[in-house]
């Protein structure tokens, strides 16, 4: 039988997605520094710091020459953005603002990050494209955004473990409905064992609810790992990522990376049973990919709110010791729709508030299982659970 290590080696390597605006400002980029890499995943940005948000951390007073240098570095860094025609428009606008003195009066580091982010997103309409400020010095990264210092890498591993690799809760609900509260898609080399254990723990349930309402994204490799449990052995094409890369001559080109279900996963696959995915406006990036994939493959029912609308993965690059920018260097393309969810989000199959999504999906799952149940004792438990749930506000 294939080993767990062999399973991880079959996973394609790629960039991590993430919802990043919540997490920056940190004593060090403590986890998931979102970055593109075609080697083992570096840390994505979504865990940059959960301890200090942009609003919570202290401000810094910056001199005009620092502002100029940050903006000039930003203009150059934007050359890696996935849409070169948009890059030119952004660079022209920001350069014009720089030389007209529009940034000269900005002495607040927080304000500079907010102003630049607003300008980037007004032109690009890309929710991943953001400038960040950190009161604490940012750790050193390489050109792909990967942390260099072993201490920073170890901090990322500890942080991810502290969050139980994104698996916040697994439960067998009354009526034998499985429930998985997944808050992130941590890279499989960190989260693989935890995710696999969670899915195997729920393998005997009659239907499954996967809660992504508080999931800001992560690794598409982990999206593929979890998705594999929901399909037969035959490979299923999940998603493609189109990357903007530079060859040895400095010429940019587009490389396509495909994501498929895996040939092997440990334990039983979750087949011929209903799956419900809970969504909210906070659900973002790789979490949206997971919902979008299963929706168009007709393998899950999405219940809740329209998701946040971030489909362009990329990498974090520092601009100086206290400023960095997330640059989308790729774009998702669904193999069925030939489009993605950037700026519009993933529409749920059953639209309801995030607060009502769990109850709605739970009732649907119970009724679905009851319709297929012939054992009287099982049917009695299902009927009692439905009655109790329906009596609640």
Domains and CATH numbers, the chain: 12-158 (no CATH), 163-314+329-391 (3.90.226.10)
Q: Which of 40-44, 139-143, 176-180, 242-246 has the lowest mean pLDDT?
A: 40-44
d(CA 85, CA 69): 24
Q: What average pLDDT does the segment 215-241 reach?
A: 97
- pLDDT tens by residue, 275-317: 999 999 999 999 999 999 999 999 999 999 999 999 999 888 8
Q: Which of 389, 384, 4, 362 is nearest to 205 (CA)?
A: 362
pLDDT of residue 47: 41
pLDDT of residue 146: 75
d(CA 177, CA 205): 5
Instruction: Supply the mean pLDDT for the chain.
Output: 87
pLDDT of residue 55: 57
pLDDT of residue 13: 34
d(CA 166, CA 182): 6
What does 354-368 look like in DSSP terms, one character per residue?
HHHHHHHHHHHHHHH
Give me the phi and psi of 196, to 5 degrees please: -60, -40
Share of the chain above pLDDT 90, in %: 75
Question: 35: pLDDT confidence band, cut at 50, 70 and 90?
Answer: very low
Q: Which of 262, 343, 263, 333 is nearest to 293 (CA)?
A: 333
pLDDT of residue 153: 84
CB-facing half-sphere around the CA of 244: CA atoms within 13 A: 19
* DSSP designation for 61: B
- pLDDT tens by residue, 150-177: 888 888 889 999 999 999 999 999 999 9
Beta strand residue intervals within the chain, DSSP E: 130-133, 167-173, 177-182, 207-211, 237-246, 252-260, 275-279, 301-304, 314-318, 323-328, 330-333, 350-351
d(CA 42, CA 145): 7
Other CB atoms within 10 Å distance of the CB of residue 111 = 15
d(CA 30, CA 198): 25
Q: What average pLDDT does the segment 219-232 reach?
A: 97
pLDDT of residue 256: 96
d(CA 88, CA 85): 5
pLDDT of residue 46: 44
Residue 55: burial class (beta carbons within 10 Å; 0-12, 13-18, 19+) = exposed
Share of the chain above pLDDT 70, in %: 85
User: Is residue 26 over pLDDT 70?
Assistant: no
- pLDDT tens by residue, 62-77: 999 999 999 999 999 9
């Amino acid at each position: 039988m294939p080993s767990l290590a062999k399973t991880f080696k079959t996973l394609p390597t790629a960039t991590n997605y993430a919802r990043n605006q919540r997490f920056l400002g940190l004593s060090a980029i403590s986890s998931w520094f979102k970055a593109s890499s075609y080697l083992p995943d570096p840390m994505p940005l979504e865990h940059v710091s959960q301890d200090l948000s942009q609003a919570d951390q202290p401000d810094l007073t910056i001199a005009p020459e620092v502002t100029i240098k940050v903006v000039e570095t930003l203009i150059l860094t934007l050359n890696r953005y996935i849409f070169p025609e948009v890059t030119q428009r952004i660079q022209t606008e920001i350069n014009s603002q720089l030389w007209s003195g529009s940034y000269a009066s900005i002495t607040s580091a927080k304000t500079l990050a907010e102003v630049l982010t607003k300008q980037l997103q007004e032109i690009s309409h890309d929710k991943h494209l953001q400038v960040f400020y950190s009161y604490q010095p940012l750790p050193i990264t390489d050109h792909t955004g990967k942390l260099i210092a072993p201490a920073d890498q170890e901090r990322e591993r500890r942080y991810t473990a502290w969050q139980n690799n994104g698996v916040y809760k697994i439960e067998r609900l009354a009526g034998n409905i499985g429930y998985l509260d997944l808050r992130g898609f941590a890279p499989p080399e960190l989260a693989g064992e935890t995710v696999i254990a969670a899915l195997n723990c729920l393998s005997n349930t009659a239907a499954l609810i996967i809660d992504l309402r508080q999931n800001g994204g992560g690794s598409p490799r982990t999206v593929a790992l979890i998705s594999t449990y929901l399909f037969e052995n035959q490979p299923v094409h999940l998603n493609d990522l189109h990357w903007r890369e530079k060859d040895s001559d400095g010429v940019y080109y587009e490389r396509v990376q495909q994501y498929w279900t895996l040939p092997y996963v440990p334990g039983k696959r979750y087949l011929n049973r209903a799956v419900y995915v809970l969504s909210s406006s906070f659900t973002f990036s790789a979490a949206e990919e997971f919902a979008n994939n299963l929706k168009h493959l007709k393998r899950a029912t999405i219940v809740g709110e329209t998701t946040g609308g971030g489909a362009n993965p990329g990498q974090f690059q520092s601009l100086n010791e206290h400023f960095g920018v997330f640059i989308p260097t790729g774009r998702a393309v669904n193999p069925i729709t030939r489009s993605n969810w950037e700026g519009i989000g993933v529409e749920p199959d059953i639209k309801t508030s995030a607060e009502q999504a769990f109850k709605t999906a739970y009732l649907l799952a119970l009724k679905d299982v009851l319709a297929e149940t012939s054992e009287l004792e099982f049917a009695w438990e299902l009927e009692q659970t439905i009655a109790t749930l329906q009596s609640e506000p």
